[in-house]
Structure 1
Amino acid sequence: MPRITADRAGGVNVCAMLDTLAYAEIGPEMLADSDDGYNVLVGSLPGRMLTFGSYADHPDVYHAATDSTAAGRYQILSRYWPHYRAQLGLPDFGPLSQDRYAIQQFREQRALPLIQAGRFIDAIAAIRNIWASLPGAGYDQHEHDIDTLARAYEAAGGKFSGRSRDWYDEVEKRL
């Protein structure tokens, strides 16, 4: 569960989307075996966790096998961290700062109002270029299917925009 409150995040749906991203990027087993994903390094696998010990700053650890410096609950790349840290006035790489970073990404991709309105599929389509684990991201990495993510979103308390689950069959084609 994100550390930011629903009020500060912009609503329950925003928190549910943060949980959905953590599910997609980290996975439930590693979320349970870590500080809810906030201290996980790219390249981690269940049973072989790679973590960092300080939230003072982005750990900037390069993982050669994935050619990445992604870290934290939302697998934030070190090259983007200084910009967002300054822009948002983030004090550290702690859980609340990571949550705020991800929400800023939602905002920049024009997904925040979609998320708040419960337009889950449209929101995923808007942010999939940021997170490789989302359907249609196209980074040659494992992508979760939309139904699995919708179940994670719903389990996290997310509400859909009044559409039934049959709606997924129709809109999944867009992803």
Structure 2
Amino acid sequence: MPTIDSQAAGGSNRCAFLDMIAFSEIGPPLLAASQNGYNVLVGSTASHPLLFSSYATHPNIFNPTFDSTAAGRYQLLYRYFSHYATQLSLPDFSPLSQDKIALCQIKEQGALPFIDSGDFSSAVYRCSNIWASFPGNIYQQHVNPVSSLQIAYTDAGGKVA
């Protein structure tokens, strides 16, 4: 469950979409082995979690195996953090800040109206260039099928039209 509440997020479908992103990017076992994914570094697994301990700022830890600095529940790259921190007046990389950044990224992709109306598949495909685990991207990493993502979304309370 995201830290941001439904009212601040703009509705329960948006919170369910955030949960679905975490399901897709982090996976249930690692979500359980961490602070709900908020302190996860790229390359983590449930059997070998790579976690950071301070939310003061994005940890900016480079994983050469994945050529990435992705961190947090939504696997944000370090190079984007300062932009969003400034744009959203965020004080840190806390769970609430991570939720706000993810919602901003979703908004930038034009996916919020699709989430709000329950057009789940369209929302996922609009965001596929951000999250490598979504179908329709070019990142050549593990991709979860939209059917699995929709189950995670509805299990988190999301409504599909």
The TM-score range, normalised by the shorter chain, is over 0.9
For each residue in 1:19-61, what CA deviation from the matched residue of structure 2 results, as whole angstroms up to 9, or x when unmatched? 0000000000000010000000001012100000000000000
Matched, 1:80 2:80: yes
What does 1:1-175 correspond to in 2, within 5 Å?
1-161=1-161
Amino acid in the other structure paired with 2:45: L
Q: 1: CA distance between counterparts of 2:135 and 2:125? A: 8
5+ residue gaps, structure 2 = none
Displaced runs of 4 or more, over 4 A: none
- Give the Å deviation of 1:113: 1.1
- Give the Å deviation of 1:92: 0.5
Q: 2: CA distance between counterparts of 1:68 and 1:144? A: 20
For each residue in 1:77-106, what CA deviation from the matched residue of structure 2 results, as whole angstroms up to 9, or x when unmatched? 000000000000011000000000000001
Amino acid in the other structure paired with 1:75: Q
5+ residue gaps, structure 1 = 162-175
For each residue in 1:100-152, what CA deviation from the matched residue of structure 2 results, as whole angstroms up to 9, or x when unmatched? 00000011000011111111000001000000000111201000001110100
Would you say how many aligned residue pairs link Structure 1 and Structure 2? 161
Q: 1: CA distance between counterparts of 2:137 and 2:157? A: 24
Q: 2: CA distance between counterparts of 1:65 and 1:5? A: 35
**Structure of higher CA gyration radius:** 1
Amino acid in the other structure paired with 1:42: V
**Per the alignment, in what secondary structure is the counterpart of residue 150 of structure 2?**
helix
**Per the alignment, in what secondary structure is the counterpart of residue 59 of structure 1?**
coil
**Per the alignment, in what secondary structure is the counterpart of residue 78 of structure 2?**
coil
> C-alpha root-mean-square deviation of aligned residues, in Å?
0.5
Q: Percent identity?
A: 54
Q: 2: CA distance between counterparts of 1:46 and 1:145? A: 21
TM-score by length of 2: 0.99
Q: 1: CA distance between counterparts of 2:116 and 2:57? A: 30
Q: 1: CA distance between counterparts of 2:77 and 2:136? A: 20
Amino acid in the other structure paired with 1:155: D
